[in-house]
Amino acid sequence: MKPITIRGRPAAMPLICAPLVGANPDALLAEAAAAQAARADIVEWRVDHFRQIEDAAAVIDAGRALRRAHSDMPLLFTRRSEREGGQRVAISERQVAQLCAEVCRAGFADLVDFEMSSAAVDMKTVREAARHNGVGLVCSYHDFERTAPLGDLVAHFRRAQELGGDVGKVSVMARTVEDALTLLAATLQAAKTLQIALIGVSMGPHGAVSRMVGFAFGSALTFGVATRGSAPGQMPIGELRAAIEVARKALSA
């Protein structure tokens, strides 16, 4: 089970990540402060919620302000596309890739998320910028409608490695408890065969178990809420951490 490397060091498993969905810099800073108070291990800036996303300089200024205010808190930079559950934005997919590359060069982000459904040329742009600037690349796939068969989910994890990602993320909607078990089984199978760190998430009420015990199946990060969530089924950080500790003790008994 491979942990995520942040700032040159392997992080504890699982990291608890709090989303930041503020529309302006002040809201972002307030959410980051709440995440730190809730003892999140890392924050994810969902820049698709940011009103000035079309202004790269404003994005970078806000990111640097986050880094100054919370220098010890690792940051994952993410633009989630509308097709994969995010907000509609006023810039093109090519501009999104260029923004991610500029963020990598700006030095405030530890990880950058880029969707595997993106055009190959855009993935190349972000991958090269991440490599040249020491930023970890999360290659991600999301389906807010269903859970695909186990083999398909494993293939998504494998593609993240093939694309040169440092982390492969697969997040799918659970319509039944069996769907959650499928996601966990796929994460475990991928963890046994791939060399990169993994994030496996089953969304919705039926998928909550994956957030609590996913680490036992190879998922290096899970998402919890400090102020506002970014996906169905996210739990308050305090409750999530307590559940993880119970599971960890039971597994080590």
| Interstrand relation of 9-10 and 5-6 (parallel, antiparallel or unpaired) | antiparallel
Q: Choose, from 2, 49, 70, 142, the residue flagged as catalytic.
A: 142
Q: Choose, from 49, 156, 169, 206, the residue flagged as catalytic.
A: 169
Distances from the Cα of 171 to the Cαs of 36, 46, 62, in angstroms? 24, 15, 27
| CB 208 within 8 Å of CB 238 | no
Amino acid (1-letter code) at residue 230: S
Three state DSSP letters for 66-109 = HHHHCCCCCEEEECCCHHHCCCCCCCCHHHHHHHHHHHHHHCCC
d(CA 126, CA 68): 24
Is there a cis peptide before residue 14, judged by omega within 30 degrees of 0?
A: yes
| CB 20 within 8 Å of CB 35 | yes
H or E stretch at 46: strand 42-46
169 is an active site residue: yes
Q: Quick one: how many helices (H) and strands (E) in the chain?
A: 8, 11
124 is an active site residue: no
Amino acid (1-letter code) at residue 126: V
Which residues form the catalytic set? 142, 169
